[in-house]
A and B are shown apart, each in its own frame.
Chain A
Amino acid sequence: MASRRDFIRISGLGLGGVVLGSNAAYQAFSQTFLNNDRLDLGSLRRTPTYCEVCFWKCAGWVYKNDQGQIQKIIGNDDDLHCNGRLCPRGTGGVGMYYDTDRLKKPLLRVGERGQQTFKEVSWDEALQYIADKMQAIAKEHGPECVALFNHGSGGAYFSRLLKAFGSPNITAPSYAQCRGPREVAFLATFGEGVESPERTDIRDTRCLVLIGSHIGENMHNGQVQEMSDAIDKGASIITVDPRFSTAASKSKFWLPIKPATDLALLLAWIHVIIEEGWYDKAYVEKYTYGFEQLREHVKTMTPEWAHGITTIEPAVIRETAREMANASPAVIIHPGRHVTWYGDDSQRLRAVAILNAILGSWGRRGGFYRPAEKKLPSYPFPPYPKPTRTWQDAYPGLFPLAGLALASGICDATIPAHGRSCSFKAWIVLGTNLIETLPNQANTIQAIQNLDLLVAIDTMPMEITGWADVVLPECTYLERYDSIRENPHRKGQLALRMPAMEPQYDSKPAYWMARELAIKLNLAAWFPFEKMEDELDWQLKQVGLSLAEMQKEGIKTFEREYDDLYFAPDEEIEFPTNTGKIELYSTEFENAGFDPIPKYTPHPEPPEGYYRLNYGRGPAHTFSRTANNPNLTDLMDENMLWVNPRVAREWGLSNEQPVWLRNQDGATSRFPIKVRITERIRWDSVYMVHGFGHEDKRLTRCFGKGASDSKLITRVHVDPVMGGTGMRGNFVTFLTSEPKAEEVQR
């Protein structure tokens, strides 16, 4: 990022610079990987795909030029996820294919774990090594001691492999490190989760409330599009964020809340809406359970009470509550996506759900719609063997409402502990860079050191592949078939991903890897089709479609059978909760021993000289996985540390000055991050975009660029309800000179 105002100041090219010609630099710049022929769109060939750069999975078309190279990827007009418009990452997905730093050959570790010494081996040797290890572990410890961490389409085949092998321990960090609490809270309240893409009817809303959710900086494509539509239609946006996010700048109300106090604000809003009688009385009466308990519970939680906690003026709390009520039921208090913040996240999201419920937005136009989905039948595989143990056995009585396996839970259960019968012995990690994804890196590495086998499957060398025993190079989504996309939306849709190019180097699709491994493990019965496309064709034929048809159209849309996108007036609804009602008072939470109605509890505050570490998303990147993509590094190649000018003055920091960070536990960043002095951040916090500060030298474009927030997240507040890892309780201070190597623990 370059400041224009600084242009004059930093010119500094003096006379020396003038005299020194820079032909060499010019030559360096002229090395481009895209050819330079003029375009002729007529001759471009297109193949359908759905995007894998993030998990919104927009469907699109891959266009090739005359030389048969990928020219561009554009959205599929019929796709409800993207409406023909991909986000920058989807458009820049080309760079995933062209990245020359990709993993190219199967690798087998030869030196010590984590030393990154590998030898290239054949696929057969790599897979045989894995199969032998897995069998040995199954024999000695049981197949349940093999776990799969996945985040990506290829996970489906390895899940199948693992279930056939006898392990139920399949996890994705997208649950306990991201959206788990909101699913638990909404399930407890409405009996249904929020899903992905979120069932928020932002397009038609009249009031959108964002709490710590920065739509626009997180490029969840459909939501960004719908928020823009809502702005066009004059919807008011209320943003609650200690940082002046992009969304805040588009908002009618920005509530610059003191960090970690959101629950107090939510309860005060509920208080105002109930006390003023602004709630949807008919809806509450007909559909909800526990309203009186709720009214009683929030009686004392006045805006004045919340003001003392949140620093938000009582008048503003009332005014914004009025704004929501005026829009009701076309109002969305957005559940957010990455919501694992302070350890009471399920409760905070319960408050969000309750607020939506009393405003009658669930199941209403402009609130939350009822998603539809079209599912393809699965091939009749033989039944999976019954596992005798699950990851949850490691946590007797804990996290009773965890609906999915916890990535952090499996990680922790890998470290042998007193009294635990079994620890995990093998990890298969597909498409997720656990080192940067899980909090507390030292803990993750300790777990890894206890493994007998770590297999990393990825397209790029990542920190996790550096720790692996076996590295399997997956081809990118542009070079493979994958399962048909079946995500729920306003209408059911099926979308096809097919290869636009042959896999580069010696990379392979995950389906092929899983099947070859299955054959070596005598589990071939679960992979009867040699080629993915034959399985897809079989599945599609069951619903009267075919692969050939999908290859031509990319997407199939299925109209809803009934006009039930929203609740009909006075519709009788049996909600899938214990009471059959929307539970303002959660019997499920009560039965599990948790507060049935959320209570505000204060969270630790940063000590003198420390600042709360906030992190978030930049629109050009997905987690840490895109940091080396040539097209996307071109947009953003490092993160910067947002610092309030007051703080900068106090510390004598200047713009673009490199600093290192240290948290309250002494965890220190390895690489410097440049300071961005900006009014957009509160004086008690700093902010950075997640996903930078890569430590793997094989990532030539992003190695050492910016800082890793994950490295500074060691203080984790675990949600007792479902095991989410609250990561916003870390406080950092500035180091203006480089810390010694030994201070930067790995």
Chain B
Amino acid sequence: MRYAMAVDTKKCVGCSDCVVACQTENNVPIGFCRDWVVEVTDGTYPQLEIEIRSERCNHCNNSPCVRCCPTGASHYSDGGIVLVNSEKCIGCGACIASCPYDARYSHPDGYVDKCTFCIHRVKKGQDPACVAVCPTKCMYFGDLDDPKSPVSVVLKKRKYKTLIPEAGTQPELYFLI
């Protein structure tokens, strides 16, 4: 099992619904977020193009955060989902410094928090909250080992990229381009 997400930059309109849905689903305190939206504009008027990406933890296969965690609080869970066990986290911040995507944040309660791919939903066969809410349906989630999962299907037929592959993290968040 290898959970992955694909985000279609051609359909995303940057509404940031994914961010609010994540916050309300996961009790992310106001002022913090586990996911965010990046908009990149290139060119000169009127020759322009825009890429919009809903970003979050990349649930890397080679996660620097898991590697550098001194207590094992950051760990790989089912299907490669990277999680933080708040009962083991000492809040040293090493994982935050180690993430090239700045995907983690320091929860006001002290522990480090991040995207969980909504594992509590995934276990029930639901999509993560961001995927389920997206009005443009620009996000695909599923198991890459299952060739019929939405994410496998879309990655087979579309061109895609990952973020900073040269950082060697082997991310599982794909962007359809």
Contacts and interface: CB of A to CB of B under 8 A. Distances in A.
A249 B19 contact: no
Contact of B17 (A88, A229, A254): A88
16 contacts: A30-B108, A33-B30, A41-B121, A85-B137, A86-B17, A88-B17, A88-B19, A91-B24, A92-B20, A228-B135, A231-B10, A232-B11, A232-B137, A246-B52, A635-B20, A679-B45
Contacts of A91: 17, 20-21, 24, 133
Interface in A61-97: 71-75, 82, 84-88, 91-92, 94
Nearest to B138: A228
A389 interface: no
A630 interface: yes
A139 interface: no
A29 B31 contact: yes
Interface stretch (A175-183, A213-221, A724-732): A213-221
A227 B10 CA distance: 12
A419 B29 CA distance: 59
B13 A216 contact: yes
A9 interface: no
Interface residues of B, number: 42
Contacts of A692: none
B30 A224 contact: no
Contacts of A683: 45
A85 B132 contact: yes
Contacts of A26: 108
A91 B132 CA distance: 12
3 smallest A-B Cβ distances: which pairs? A30-B108, A216-B13, A32-B29
Interface stretch (B36-44, B68-76, B164-172): B36-44
Interface of B: 10-11, 13-17, 19-21, 23-27, 29-33, 38, 41, 43-46, 48-50, 52, 108-109, 120-121, 124, 132-138
A37 interface: yes
Contacts of B20: 88, 91-92, 631-632, 634-635
Given A232-B11, A630-B30, A71 B137 contact: no
Of the four ranges (under 10, 10 to 19, 20 to 34, 35 or more), the interface on chain A belongs to 35 or more
Contact of B41 (A32, A215, A679): A679
A225 B15 contact: no
A310 to B, nearest CB: 13
Contacts of B137: 85, 225, 228-229, 232
A86 B136 CA distance: 11
Contacts of B33: 634
Contact of B23 (A38, A217, A228, A634): A634
Contact of B24 (A94, A244, A619): A94
B48 A680 contact: yes
A72 B25 contact: yes
B41 A680 contact: yes
A4 interface: yes
A635 B46 contact: no
A679 B31 CA distance: 30
Interface centre among B16, B120, B138 (most CB of A within 10 A): B16
B31 A37 contact: no
Contacts of A73: 24
B15 A244 contact: no
A250 interface: yes
B136 to A, nearest CB: 4
A92 B43 CA distance: 34
Given A231-B10, A246-B52, 15 more contacts: A31-B108, A37-B27, A74-B132, A86-B17, A88-B17, A216-B15, A219-B135, A224-B135, A225-B137, A244-B41, A247-B13, A635-B19, A635-B20, A679-B44, A680-B41
A171 interface: no
B38 A4 contact: yes
Interface in A196-244: 215-217, 219, 221, 224-225, 227-229, 231-232, 244
